[in-house]
């Protein structure tokens, strides 16, 4: 093995180890500790392999580190689709649940019985939480407390509106529950349409970003492999510095797009300390 090849392999190992340390350091410091999962290990191994292969083929340290990082952080950069679909499905399930409760209470069913009867028809995203609520109601837990626990389990600002209306009705025994649930269901359906339109626009943006990224990577690696003399200056220190600047610009752009596409945190109406009592 030549000295240059040994240096390249050593740099590749260093890049892989660096990516592994970044992955370990990026885990949340607070909250439940789930350990280093098998999926994290697979992503880190894949990122290290990609980084080493790119480094051996191109001798571009910055590009190798960037592509390795892209492999490891891919779910965080482009994994918003699954989260958006889950949020949309949950909102649709909540709208259906509000409509089911409205129909049951309009037919003269008492609220505790309506809650029990709404579980079998509930959609999958909220059915486990509603089943747990039914168990608490069956165990004679006070209805406001059982509903407060449901709000904590759902942990959703849209669910808080429905649960708050139910808690108020359980306290005051008001006669406007049907009208309130109808209004909340209409609001959820309208918000659902808006979310679907916004997500459709975001899908186009994500597709455009992926196309630009794929073309850039393909052209860069293609030139390095098929016409190495054309990109030979990038192997010099000044070229490596320029590549690092380009990688930094791309990283900033991807991070900015990810921040724009990520949903903004919304303060919940009911918090864990508000169990049983709406704020």
Q: What is the mean pLDDT of the chain?
A: 80
pLDDT in tens, 58-113: 888 888 888 888 888 887 777 667 778 888 899 999 999 999 999 999 998 888 99
pLDDT band at 271 (very low <50, low <70, confident <90, very high): low
Distance in angstroms (rounded) separating the CA atoms of residues 253 and 144? 47
Query: Residue 196, CB half-sphere, CA atoms under 13 Å: how many?
Result: 10
Q: How far apart are CA 96 and CA 185, in angstroms?
A: 7
pLDDT of the residue at 118: 92
What pLDDT is attached to residue 261? 63
pLDDT tens digit string along 7-34? 444 454 454 445 444 444 444 443 444 4
Q: Which residue has the tokens 């980084």?
A: 51
How far is Cα 176 from Cα 160, in angstroms, rounded to an integer? 18
CA 170-174-177 angle, 5° bins: 85
* pLDDT of 226 over the 90 cut: no
What CA–CA distances, in Å, run from 269 to 70, 148, 158? 37, 11, 9
Cite the DSSP H helix spans in the chain. Answer: 3-25, 38-58, 61-72, 74-78, 80-106, 111-117, 127-138, 143-154, 157-172, 177-226, 237-261
The sign of the dihedral angle between the CA atoms of 266, 272, 274, 277 is positive
* C-alpha closest to that of 128 among 117, 141, 119, 137: 119
* CA distances in angstroms from 152 to 23, 26, 124, 223, 272, listed in the order given: 30, 27, 18, 55, 6
Q: Which of 129, 161, 159 is nearest to 146 (CA)?
A: 129
Identify the DSSP state of 264: P
pTM, whole model, 2 decimals?
0.66
């Amino acid at each position: 093995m030549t000295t240059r090849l040994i240096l390249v392999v050593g740099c590749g190992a260093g890049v892989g180890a660096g990516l592994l340390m970044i992955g370990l350091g990026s885990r949340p410091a607070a909250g439940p500790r789930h350990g280093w999962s098998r999926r994290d290990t697979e992503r880190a191994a894949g990122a290290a392999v990609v980084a080493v292969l790119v480094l051996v083929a191109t001798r571009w340290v910055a590009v190798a580190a960037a592509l390795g990082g892209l492999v490891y952080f891919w779910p965080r950069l482009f994994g918003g689709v699954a989260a958006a679909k889950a949020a949309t499905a949950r909102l649709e399930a909540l709208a259906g649940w509000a409509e089911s409760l409205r129909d049951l209470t309009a037919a003269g069913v008492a609220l505790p019985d309506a809650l029990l009867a709404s579980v079998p028809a509930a959609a999958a995203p909220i059915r486990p939480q509603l089943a747990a609520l039914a168990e608490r109601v069956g165990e004679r837990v006070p209805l406001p407390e059982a509903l407060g626990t449901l709000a904590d389990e759902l942990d959703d600002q849209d669910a808080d509106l429905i649960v708050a209306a139910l808690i108020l009705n359980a306290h005051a025994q008001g006669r406007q529950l049907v009208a309130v649930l109808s209004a909340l269901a209409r609001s959820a359906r309208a918000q659902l349409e808006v979310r679907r339109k916004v997500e459709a626009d975001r899908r186009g943006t994500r597709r455009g970003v992926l196309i630009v990224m794929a073309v850039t990577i393909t052209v860069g690696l293609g030139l390095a492999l098929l016409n190495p003399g054309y990109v030979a200056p990038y192997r010099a220190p000044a070229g490596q510095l320029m590549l690092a600047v380009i990688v930094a610009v791309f990283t900033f752009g991807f991070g900015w797009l990810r921040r724009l596409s990520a949903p903004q945190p919304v303060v919940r109406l009911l918090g864990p300390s508000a169990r049983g009592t709406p704020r």
